[in-house]
Every structure is written in C-alpha cells, then in structure tokens.
Structure 1
Amino acid sequence: MSYVKPQDVVTQMIDTGEKKLFLSTRDTLIRSFMGGAILALAAAMAVTISTNTGNPLLGAAFFPIGFIMLYLMGFDLLTGVFTLVPFAVIARRPGATWGGMWRNWGLVFCGNFAGAFTVAVLMAITFTYGFSTPPDEIGEALGTIGEGRTVGYADHGAAGMLTLFVRGVLCNWMVSTGVVAFLMSKDTISKVVVMWMPVFLFFYLGFEHSVVNMFLFPSGLLLGGDFTVVDYLVWNELPTVLGNLVGGLTFVGLPLYLTHHRTGPERLRPIPAGPDTAGARAADRTATPVG
C-alpha cells in the first residue's frame, strides 16, 4: 500500500534527520543551494502569475511545483531540517549531537541563501534587460512586496514584530506538514498530492517563509524597492527564521514524536460485565504481582 502509518513515518523522520546530520559539508551545501534556487524560481513564477492575471489564488496554486520538485530530487530547505534533524539527537542516535545540528542548520541556511540570491540576480537581469531599463511590471511587484513586508511591519512596532513571528510559525506548521507528508506515501503521485495541499495553503495566506524571502527581498533591493538590507534582516528574515523554527518543531515534529514514538502507557481496560466478571475479579485478587 502507498500509505505509511504515522509510527513508521516518525521512524523515517528520525532516520532522515540522522542522514542529514552526518552528510558531508560539500553535499549539504550543494543540496541546500539547489533547494533555495528551485524554490526561488517557484516564487518568481507565482509572483508572475499573480501579477499577470491579477489573481493571487492562481499564483499560490502553482507555487508548490517548486517545493515538490526540490524534495523529489533530494534537496534541502532550512524549514525542513528545522523539523527533521533535531529528532536524531532527541532519539539519541549514535554520534548525533546538538553541535552537529547547529552545524547542519548553519550550512543549509548559507546554501539556501546562496541559491535564492543567485536566482534573484538572474531574475533581476531578465526584468531589466541586464539593468539597462527600469523594472517591468513584475519587477515593480517584487519591490512592492519587499517594502510592504519589511517597513510595513516596522510601522506597527512591537505588534508588527509579533505578527511577523506568528506568520513564520504558521508558515512552517504548514510547510513541515508537507515535508512529513512526503514520507507518508511511497508513490510519486501520492507524494505530490499530499505535499501540494499545505504548501498551497501557506502561500495563499501570506505566511512568512525564510527561504522564499531570501529571494523576494534581495530581488526587491536589486529592483529599487524602498527599504534597506537592515530592514530586510531585522524586520523580516531573522524573526521569520525563528518563527519557522518554532512552528516546525512545536506543531509538527514534537506532536508526532511524542504520540507515535514515545507514546504514553495505555489506560487499563475495564473488565466487561457478564457472568464471568466475579471470577475474573477473584483471579485478579489472587494473582501474584509481577516485579
């Protein structure tokens, strides 16, 4: 059968996290570079569709293509390793350490950013004919996104920062659900369907994804958006990374791990009423305790 039971999915989560934890620096950087680049291309496609059609729903519907492609090819996103890698340590796999986890997260962050930024430069070239003309309509839309989701939050002060963080939490709740859903099925078509749904939801609702933002905001800066690198880092990227971390661990990884891997003891089953009830209870009273 294509469906994988939750208990087996959690075991796969731990196994996958362990493999990523011990992956070489070279392979980790290559896989995360390509993951960031493909997701950035998907974001560019979604913005293009939304701008050309005036319908954000269509852009959100097609965005998951990039997410699905990169996972089918075995590439990595920061949001995914946030959810998978810690459980190799929590499950006490041999050699798995918290230091190794931080190393993996740092390498994936750098690789994702390099891949997304590369695509941002390439797409900025296409939107401006090699920076020889002003940005086209899509380029202007990217600049507007960058402004609204940096200084737009800053205008609200602490309330804006809280909103940004919560949108990061909600984002990786959905994205990590898609990552785990990848492990829930064995055939490609099933993987595509179950990954598509939560990623479509996060994108249409406008939640904050740290890797997508590694493309959107550098693109906005390259295309003349009215915000700064500091605005991008303080009022988007860093709080989004923290929110993504909390969302993936708190609402996806830990619940699955605690209820399907380290399950609590079952409650005692009541003895059904019937003619043999008295005999069963008498046997319970005379039985020799074990241990």
Structure 2
Amino acid sequence: METQNTGLMYNIEKSVMKKQSLYDNSKSRYFVRAMLACLFLTLGTAVAVMIGQSGEEIAPGLGKMLYAFMFSWSLVMIIYMNAELGTSNMMYMTIAMQRKWLKPKKALAILFYCVLFNLIGGIIASLVISFTYKFHALPSDHFLFTAVAGKLAKTPVQVFSEGIFANIIVNTAVYCTIRMKDDAGKIIAMIFIIFIFAYLGFEHVIANFSSFSLAFFASGGTVPGMTFSAVTVNLIVAFLGNYVGGALMIGMLYSWLNKNQTDYVD
C-alpha cells in the first residue's frame, strides 16, 4: 500500500479506511450517516432560504448574500457530525482507486450508496420540514421557489460547468478541515469557502437533492419548470460536473502532486 507517514494523503488514506470499515462492518450505519448528510443540508437550506427571503424584503440582493452565508453552515454540521457526503466521497474514492487503497468495485459501491442515501435523506428531511409552520402556505414568489426555478432553467452546459466549480470549492473546504488543527479556523474557512459556491449559485447535486425536494413539498409541486425530466437532467449533469471538479480536478490532481517526496508535499 502506497502511503506517506504524514501529510494530506496520509490523512485521506485514514479517512478512506474508516469509511471502508464502517461500510464493511455495518452498512446500515453507513447508510444512516449518508442520510444524515442531507438532513443537515436540508436544515441549512431551510434556514438559508427563509433568511434570504427576509433579506430580499429589506434590500434587493441582500437575500442572496444572507442565503450564501447561512447555507455555508451545512458543511460545518456535516463535517462535525461525521456524516457521509457524496460529493466529498467522489474525491476520497477516486484517490482510493488511483492509489490502489481500494478495489474499484468497492470504492464505487461506497460512492453509489452514499449518493443514494443522501437522496433518500434529503427527500425524507424535506418532506417533514414542509409540514412545519414556516413552510406552510409560502407565496409563489418566495426565495426558495425562485431559486429552484432558476436552477431548472439552466442549460446542461451551464449546469455541468457550475457543477465542476461547485465541487472544486466543496473539496477545497474539505481539504482545509484535513490540514487545519484549530476548530475555529476550520469553521471560518468552511463558511467563507462554501460561501463562494452558494453565492454564485453553482450546482451541487447533493444540495439539489434537498433544495428540489423542499421546493416540491412546500409548493405542492407547483414550482415553474419543475418536471421529472428537468429535475433528472439537472441532477445527472450536476453529478457529472461535480465528479470532474471534485474527483478529477481536486482528488486525482492533488494525489498526483503528492506522488513523490518533494518540498511541495501537502
């Protein structure tokens, strides 16, 4: 097994082995951790769209800034609650295959079930939140619905391009949590890094599990442009873009950059 005694790849290998151990020894617990990731994403999305709506009522454009700031706390919850996020596992599992820590069949199975149960968790969490007081009888021009309608109106090229950048940003934030030791520093870094993709409206397939589900249940399925085909195309294309950005441009690139012992070992 190829490894370093210290540094980024060593810590990534430890994380991969922990994920493999949980998956092999208790798939049900692994699936629950994947569902928890979208629980936290759904909570983050819910509070972010509500604060975004309030911000827009104060001043046009303020809502988007407040939304991006509050949404950023989703990753903080996911990291500190040890939940399993599909887009970060794109990076982990691709490195695991490239470095031969895991066989491709095992790595891809872990990634597949992580994404699947992210989806299930997002649907369940969104359904339950839609019953709460704040999400009862939302106006048709609510921040949540306009944001989701805007996502569904994008072309596949836009979704793919934004998906690349979204997961570059997410996995950069994950790398920071690996490199940094201080909890306050980790939290600050995650918030400001994730703010980039949230404010720019980039496409993150797992986050869209939550936002699409929440918009569907809260609106009773009346969001403009929300058809089965539109949602499916968005999610598939976003997944592919996320994979390129997180798995190839961050995962495999940094694995290659740290392949040999040099002064530039991360």
Which structure 2 residues correspond to residues 9-28 of structure 1 after superposition, within 5 A?
9-24=8-23, 25-28=27-30
Query: How many residues matched?
Result: 247
TM-fit CA distance, 1:127: 5.5
Q: How does 1:1-291 map to 2 (within 5 A)?
A: 8-24=7-23, 25-54=27-56, 55=62, 56-93=64-101, 96-126=102-132, 135-137=137-139, 140-150=142-152, 152-153=153-154, 160-222=155-217, 223=219, 224-226=222-224, 227-234=226-233, 236-262=234-260
Bigger mean CA deviation after superposition, 47-56 or 252-261: 252-261
RMSD: 2.3
Q: Which has the larger radius of gyration?
A: 1
Q: Is the 8 A contact 1:182 1:191 kept in 2?
A: yes
Q: 1:225 corresponds to which letter in structure 2?
A: V
SS of match in other structure, 2:260:
coil
Unpaired runs of at least 5, structure 1? 1-6, 154-159, 267-291
Structure 1 length normalisation: TM-score? 0.78
Classify 1:138/1:246 alpha carbon distance in 2 versus 1 (closer, same or farther; 3 Å).
Answer: same
TM-score relative to the length of structure 2: 0.85
Unmatched tracts of structure 2, length 5 or more: 1-5, 57-61
Report the identity percentage: 22
CA distance in 2, matches of 1:139, 1:23: 43
Deviations 1:61-86 (A, max 9, x none): 12221211211111111111001122
- Distance between the aligned counterparts of 1:206 and 1:146, measured in 2? 10
- Relative to structure 1, is the Cα distance of residues 139 and 27 closer, same or farther in structure 2, using a 3 angstrom cutoff? farther
Structure 2 residue identity aligned to 1:121 = L
Aligned to 2:59: none
Match of 2:3 in 1: none
Code of the residue aligned with 2:40 in structure 1: it is: I
- Once the 2 structures are TM-superposed, how far is the Cα of residue 106 of structure 1 from its aligned partner? 1.3
Q: AA paired with 2:71?
A: F
Letter in 1 for 2:67: G
Specify the alignment match of 1:289 in structure 2. none
Instruction: Give CA-to-partner distance per residue, 1:191-244, whole Å, 9 cap, x none.
Output: 21222221111101100111110011122222121321221011x111111111
CA separation in 1, counterparts of 2:260 and 2:18?
Answer: 21
Structure 2 distance, partners of 1:258, 1:165, is 24
State whether residues 17 and 86 of structure 1, in contact with CA within 8 Å, keep that contact through their aligned partners in structure 2.
Answer: no
How far 1:147 sits from its partner (Å)?
2.2
CA deviation string 1:125-182 (max 9, x = no partner):
22587xxx6x3248843233332211x12xxxxxx21111000000000001011111
